[in-house]
Amino acid sequence: MKRTWLAVSLAVFVSLLLLFGVAFSLGRWERFGGSKVALIAVEGVILDSKEVIEQLDKHRTNPSVKAIVLRINSPGGGVAPSQEIYEEILKTRKTDKKPVVASMGSVAASGGYYIASATDLIVANPGSITGSIGVLLQIPNISGLMQKIGVKSVVVKSGAHKDLASPTREMTDAERQILQGMLDDVHNQFIDVVAKGRQIDRKKVEAMADGRIFSGREAQSFGLVDQLGNLQDAIERAGAMAGIPGKPTVIQERKRRLFLIDLLRSGLSLFDIALPIYPPSTLSVNYLLW
């Protein structure tokens, strides 16, 4: 009888071990256990939405995840990826009825604030840099340099504006009007999103949407932030909103990086203090960015 009990216990232990091993290898380990809060990091310039959207979808369909916290530490980024993440957050809130809380790190401005405005609650540190509600397009012009070195650009085009914003010549007034019209349209989209998400009168948002930045405490006084606090405060609020008793269990997907990338990131962190000094929206890679 004793041997039979030991054999059964060993079989159960091995089965559970295999089950957890398979679940871990398939990325499903977080489905075990009780109610949880999922933590998603939005870091750096927002140039692609794929990773964040995949995580939102994964946690949205996980029945053990009852709430999501977005830890935003970003100065902004591309228009389209910011809008895609924004829409996915709304889907999580409305379709799956899971509360989403934004936690602002050092900086959550421009595209970073656009994303935050889609959440149920925004928590910021008193010194977090946020705001910068606006759009910017920077176009380098090297025509003067080309003239000095004797290089000419020959363009063959199918339409008058096919080479719009070419860096090899001066911009015409007509081209400037076209680009300004596009920027004004996207700017209005940004204002609409903030006014709707924060439930602030559109006229008030327009007055703040001139590209200026705010500290977390200033943003709270204007209604752009709900409360002051750190990441742990945001996690606890998310758990309370989801009805999780006590201190909630937190899960976060961590991706392994190459050692060289880690080394570069640690070196670039020296510039963290300098980043907020410049308007966060002035991050351009020859493309339209918040």
Which has more pLDDT, 160 or 57?
A: 57
Residue 136: the pLDDT is 83
Residue 106: the pLDDT is 96
Residue 41: the pLDDT is 96
Mean pLDDT of the chain: 82
The whole-number average pLDDT for the span 53-78 is: 94
Q: Which residues are designated catalytic? A: 110, 162
- 33-255 topology per CATH: 2-enoyl-CoA Hydratase; Chain A, domain 1 (3.90.226)
What distance separates the 2 farthest-apart alpha carbons in the chain? 95
Place of tokens 């692609």: 48
* HEC readout, 199-237: CCCHHHHHHHCCCCEEEHHHHHHCCCCCEECCHHHHHHH
Q: At residue 245, what is the residue type?
A: P
Q: Tell me how far CA of residue 217 lies from CA of 10, 197, 223, 229, in angstroms.
A: 57, 19, 10, 10
Task: Extract the tokens encoding 234.
Answer: 């945001």
Q: How far apart are CA 111 and CA 105, in angstroms?
A: 14
Task: Extract the tokens encoding 229.
Answer: 């606090």
- pTM equals 0.77
